[in-house]
Amino acid sequence: HRGQESAGIAVADNHQIRMHRDMGLVTQVFHEETLAGLTGHIGIGHTRYSTTGSSILRNVQPMLCDCDFGPVALAHNGDLINAGALREELISQGIELDTTNDSEVIIKLIASSGASTIEDAIAYAMSRIRGAYAVLVLTKNKLIAFRDPFGIRPLSIGRLNGSHYLVASETCAFNTIGAQFIREVEPGEMIIIDENGLNERQAIPLEGRALCIFEYVYFARPDSRMYNRTMHEARRRMGHELAREHPAPGAHIVFPLPNTGTPAAIGLAEASRIPYAEGVVKNYYIHRTFIQPDQRMREMGVKMKLTPLKESLAGRRVVMVDDTIVRGTTIGPTIKMIRDAGAVEVHVRIACPPIKHPCFYGIDTANQNELIAAKLNVEEIRQYIGADSLGYLSLHGLIRAIGVKKDKLCCACLDGKYPVEVSKEAKLSKFVFEEPAPA
């Protein structure tokens, strides 16, 4: 659910690193034959949601690089805001760059650091890069995890059968295999796992705490836990807050746009005592539309993903709940579909404040011109999407639902306050490092 465009796995056995990666979903990339060839006792995996660089094979992760420490593989979640300057620096040193993503900068900084140990090389790279990063590095005999000094992107440590360590973006990965959550990787921290067990190192100073609030709103899976609360519980509480801030008297039913709108719809129905129902049916063979790499695919995905239930909608005043309105291009056709199924009124409730500012930390909304709330006010958005009423959860209500102090969260997409300063030239588009097309 964190990436659908490509997948890869790298494994090590003390002697070498074996890797397989390709475009597509995990189930399309890996088969019994490919997995049988990935033998080793340490491994890392990655699924890509492109935020810098095209969705093409050379940008697939993990990335592999040979250096003084032997082969090194790397998987990165996040976005670097100074990747352009670092790429120019590396190129000026005669270092070849093979991809158009920002993650390659990290592995090339590690490889060219001149440090005597892989740990010192990683610490050097961490001191140079700025932005959001949760990273796993694999050597022939070590697994090393590290996180940016604000902890913008999540990264957690787990343990299986008492002695096997795991690191993952979300705790749901531990639940799936029966592992126990230990703790989060701290901001600026490096975790080294080898034959001696687990060791910790504060590689660079902690600069604060700024976990991405969009993890709670949309990105993380409902059964994942951050700051000791599951995403499902936080989203259900968002529904409670929505019911308090934007009541819908006279509505017959509440229904979600599945699946990310479901917990908030449950909470709104609970708090408002309006019956919860299924208003649309989701085709579970269509994947997450927001993280599709381009707008055409997102719009096509919505058409194929949702089918209205006329029995629930016909002749009724309905409250439709969703997690966010980002670009505003898909919710209008969805509302029309609901009306065509017979709904007499469609009231929209959004479990997040208006997204007015771009994200430079790993969510594909770097172009402010694409954000509908940056151009229109709430009433104008209501008219544009064709809803009878539109209510957004306030930032105060969202913070209350999450149960974490605002100074521990990155809310930049909502309030424009960026924990890591971003220049206007930081990233003009996700394709900033692509070669220009021939004239």
CATH class belonging to 230-404 = alpha beta
Q: What is the structure's pLDDT at 320? A: 98
Residue 1 tokens read as 């659910």
**CATH 3.60.20.10 correct for 6-208:** yes
Portion of the chain with pLDDT greater than 70, in percent:
93
For the chain, how long is the longest CA-to-CA vector? 72
- Nearest Cα to 58, choosing from 30, 89, 96? 96
- Residue 438, pLDDT > 50, answer no
Separation CA 375–CA 205 (nearest Å): 38
Q: What is the CA 214 to chain-centroid distance, rounded? A: 8
Q: What is the structure's pLDDT at 284? A: 75
- Residue 287, pLDDT > 70, answer no
Q: Phi/psi zone of residue 310: left (φ > 0), alpha (ψ -120 to 50 degrees), beta?
A: alpha
- Tens digits of residue pLDDT in 15-54: 999 999 989 999 999 999 999 999 999 999 999 888 777 8
Separation CA 392–CA 328 (nearest Å): 14
Peptide bond into 205 cis (omega under 30): no
Residue holding tokens 């929209």?
Answer: 348
Q: What is the structure's pLDDT at 305? A: 79
Peptide bond into 82 cis (omega under 30): no
* Mean model confidence pLDDT for the chain: 92
Separation CA 171–CA 156 (nearest Å): 7
Q: What is the structure's pLDDT at 377? A: 98
Separation CA 263–CA 274 (nearest Å): 15
- Tens digits of residue pLDDT in 269-284: 999 999 999 999 988 7
- Tens digits of residue pLDDT in 150-203: 999 999 999 999 889 999 999 999 999 999 999 999 999 999 999 999 999 999
Mean pLDDT across the stretch 82-102? 94
Separation CA 209–CA 187 (nearest Å): 7
- Residue 363, pLDDT > 90, answer no
Query: Is residue 432 helix, strand or coil?
Result: coil
Regarding pTM above 0.85, the answer is yes
Q: What is the structure's pLDDT at 425? A: 57
In the chain, list all ranges with CATH 3.60.20.10: 6-208
pLDDT bracket for residue 437 (50, 70, 90): very low
Other residues' Cβ atoms within 10 Å of the Cβ of residue 123:
20
- Tens digits of residue pLDDT in 123-134: 999 999 999 999
Q: Convert 142-175 into a string of H (helix), E (strand) and C (coil).
A: CEEEEECCCCCCCCEEEEECCCEEEEECCCHHHH
pLDDT bracket for residue 56 (50, 70, 90): confident
Please indicate whether residue 438 or residue 41 has the higher confidence score (pLDDT): 41
